[in-house]
Amino acid sequence: MLEDLFKMVTTRFNGDEKNETKEFRCPRCQNSCGADELQKNMWVCPECGYHARMNARDRIAITCDKGTFKEYDKDMQTANPIDFPGYEEKIGAMQEKTGLTEAVVTGECTIHGEPCIIGVMDSHFMMASMGSVVGEKITRAFERAAEKKLPLILFTASGGARMQEGLVSLMQMAKTSGAAARLSEAGVLYITVLTDPTTGGVTASFASLGDIIIAEPKVLVGFAGRRVIEGTIKQRLPEDFQSAEFLLENGFVDFICERKSMRRTIAHLIRLHRPPVKSSAETSPTEKSSDTSSSESTSKTPKERPASKENDDNTGSSGNASNAGNANSVGKSDSAGKSDRSDKPGKSEGIFGAHKNKPGKGAGKNG
**128 or 286: which carries more pLDDT confidence?**
128
Distance separating alpha carbons of residues 192 and 153, to the nearest angstrom: 6
**17 or 95: which carries more pLDDT confidence?**
95
Query: CATH for 53-272?
Result: 3.90.226.10
Residues ≥6 apart with Cβ < 8 Å to 117: 106, 107, 108, 109, 141, 144, 145, 148, 150, 151, 152, 153
Q: Where are the domains of the chain?
A: 9-52, 53-272
DSSP for 40-52 reads HTTTB-TTT--B-
pLDDT at 242: 94
pLDDT at 55: 95
User: pLDDT of 171-187, one tens digit each?
Assistant: 999 999 999 999 999 99
Instruction: Identify which of 211, 209, 199 has the alpha carbon closest to the alpha carbon of residue 241.
Output: 199
Q: In what order do the strands lie in the sheet with 114-121?
A: 70-72, 104-111, 114-121, 152-158, 190-198, 212-215, 255-256
What is the mean pLDDT of the segment spanning 244-258?
96
* Pairing, β 152-158 against β 114-121: parallel
Residues ≥6 apart with Cβ < 8 Å to 47: 26, 29, 31, 33
pLDDT at 283: 52
User: pLDDT of 205-241, one tens digit each?
Assistant: 999 999 999 999 999 999 999 999 999 999 999 999 9
Instruction: Identify which of 121, 159, 113, 114 has the alpha carbon closest to the alpha carbon of residue 138.
Output: 121
State pTM to two decimals.
Answer: 0.71
Distance separating alpha carbons of residues 135 and 118, to the nearest angstrom: 15
User: pLDDT of 12-66, one tens digit each?
Assistant: 445 554 444 578 999 999 999 998 999 999 999 999 999 999 999 999 999 999 9
How does the average pLDDT of the chain come out, rounded? 81
Amino acid at 295: S
User: pLDDT of 293-320, one tens digit each?
Assistant: 555 544 444 444 444 444 444 444 444 4
The gap from C-alpha 271 to its chain's centroid, in whole angstroms, comes to 11
Whether the predicted pLDDT of 361 surpasses 50 = no
pLDDT at 285: 56
pLDDT at 38: 92
pLDDT at 166: 95
Distance separating alpha carbons of residues 240 and 217, to the nearest angstrom: 12
Q: How confident is the model at residue 289 (pLDDT cuts 50, 70, 90)?
A: low
pLDDT at 18: 43
Contacts 24+ apart (CB under 8 A), 95-98: 97/124, 98/55, 98/122, 98/124, 98/125
